[in-house]
Amino acid sequence: MRTVVIASVFGILLCAGALSSAWGDPPSARVQDALEQATRPAPEFGAATMWLNTDKPLTLKQLRGQVVLIDFWTYCCINCMHVFPDLRFLEDKYRGQPFVVIGVHSGKFSAEKDPRNIRQAILRNGITHPVAVDSDFHIWKAFGVNAWPSLVLIDPDGNIVEKLSGEGNRDRLDKAVAILLDQYHKKGTLGQALMLRAEQVVSEPEELAFPGKVLADAGSNRLFVSDTNHHRILVADLDGHVHGVIGSSVVGLEDGDFLTARFHRPQGLALSADGHTLYVADTENHAIRAADFRAKRVRTVAGTGVQSTDRDAEGPALQTALNSPWDLALVGDKLYIAMAGSHQIWVLDLSAGSVAVFAGTGHEGRIDGPSREAAFAQPSGLATDGRVLYVADTEVSTIRAVSLGSNSQTTTIAGGGGLFEFGVRDGNGEQALFQHPLGVTLWDEKLFVADTFNHLIRLIDLKTREVTTWLGTGKAEKGTPQQIGLYEPGGVSVTNDTLYIADTNNHRILAVEIKSKKVRVLDVKVEPQVLTSAPSGLPVSKPAMN
């Protein structure tokens, strides 16, 4: 958990990664007690800028007779993402009953205050409940919230009976909702279940759904795309012509052949030196998967499918839980993992079949020094030259360097380095500013950065640490043939002096000739016959770097 004072805005903020309850009593005792004595009436939603994912604004007065659970979130936050499965569990369990989940989006980054971007986050995360836009923190302050995520439970009389912050609250909330529904049913004051309209996913002409990462390999003329919200990996040539699909597009954690294996929102990719194995950060399954092109099968090589809460993990890879692995970098038989959920870098020893923390204490922040004593904040992008890991340290909007070897050191290359130090500014080293960068890739002693929330590609000269804006308009758009636009790009990869970009919210892959800046939108299509035949392995002459 972290505490940061922002006196000029709204006081103390917490980003809570672990459960932090407002009351220490067991949920049954707390809810029973709340029913028998006066509790604080919940304030209204009147200060919402607008409502998304519903056809009309909602008021607590309208929700009388309902058990209401409010989720305060911001879409950058990995801890908030970890709460979404709990909300879906509760929504499914109590479907058809007078139970309503309401999201209140109080955005941290400036990009997160734009309702268009929040709508994309709703679609990307599969959120089906109404969301109030609270960009000025009025509702946040009215409810006395001080953490992302925070959960507030309101009884059918409109009173707050439970307030929690952090992850890991599913069981407590489940018991509390069940008790409230039972008690108010016996009192005869429950309302009817509400039917609320969710946002409809607009059919896109593209074949991709929020592609998160991309990996290009010149030796085999292959391009690998994490088609994240289709829960699969596409295998194409470097012009984007798809010749294979890995994954059935059905959510799950299942090994098997390429056509039946299941993933859940995969992100980072790394290719073995011989080109026969593709490693996948299976993010929402909290697992690392390996796609073997010779056997045409997928197998799990790390993770248990359960989210880890261990900041000092070390042990057999298949018996050790992971926490939202977001990107990968391979050096020899060591696979380095950007473990976004625990704010660390882990290493998977492929030969030994073991996994361990490599860098970071697990406490969120930016601290340089010996790597096991360093602090990261949701690292989500990796690149390497075999000697150094370059890290997109996302929540501190900073690019870091982690030396490899037994005496590893972590340093800052560029970016303001604070949890609330972000923006868009070119300059040298820490004078430059980024906003929630998710991807990095190496080229000719330079580093391309997917500066995600700024909708830009930035370039860092590693010799001078000078940061320049390289591509994009800075607006959330597709742009024109004369001036290309980007919309929250999440991944970048270089090969043959061509930069490939996963233009995530535009559902497309771009190829940019670095020297001329000529941009092509790749025509990525999955033809019906591709879905009936698995991609075969191709020889490579050298390993790919992501």
**Domain contains 543:** no
Q: Using an 8 Å Cβ cutoff, are 273 and 312 in contact?
A: no
**Domain contains 9:** yes
Same domain, 233 and 272: yes
**Domain contains 209:** no
Q: Using an 8 Å Cβ cutoff, are 412 and 398 in contact?
A: yes
Same domain, 158 and 236: no
Same domain, 227 and 160: no
Same domain, 175 and 260: no
**Domain contains 538:** no
Do the strands 147-148 and 11-15 form a parallel or antiparallel pair, or are they unpaired? Answer: parallel
- Mean residue pLDDT of the chain comes to 90
**Domain contains 205:** no
**Domain contains 292:** yes
Same domain, 110 and 166: yes
* CATH number of residue 464's parent domain: 2.120.10.30
State the pLDDT at residue 195. Answer: 84
Same domain, 169 and 248: no
Distance CA 324, CA 263 (A): 13
Quote the number of domains for the chain: 2
State the pLDDT at residue 148. Answer: 96
* CATH number of residue 32's parent domain: 3.40.30.10
- Helix 27-36 to helix 170-187 angle (10° resolution) is 30
State the pLDDT at residue 33. Answer: 60
Torsion of the alpha carbons at 502, 508, 511 and 517, rounded to the nearest 10: -90
Q: In sequence order, what E strands does 228-363 have?
A: 232-236, 242-246, 256-257, 269-271, 277-282, 287-292, 297-302, 314-316, 325-331, 334-339, 344-349, 354-359
Low-confidence ranges of the chain (pLDDT < 70): 1-39, 199-206, 532-546
Cβ atoms within 10 Å, residue 518: 10
Same domain, 180 and 263: no
Cβ atoms within 10 Å, residue 327: 32
For 342, the 3-state DSSP assignment is: helix
Same domain, 242 and 157: no
**Domain contains 172:** yes
Domain range for 428 is: 214-528
Q: Using an 8 Å Cβ cutoff, are 53 and 127 in contact?
A: yes
Same domain, 126 and 87: yes
Same domain, 101 and 143: yes
- What percent of the chain lies above the pLDDT cut of 70? 89
Distance CA 206, CA 186 (A): 52
State the pLDDT at residue 10. Answer: 38
pTM of the shown model: 0.92
Distance CA 84, CA 97 (A): 20
State the pLDDT at residue 439. Answer: 98
**Domain contains 468:** yes
Same domain, 177 and 283: no
Same domain, 219 and 183: no
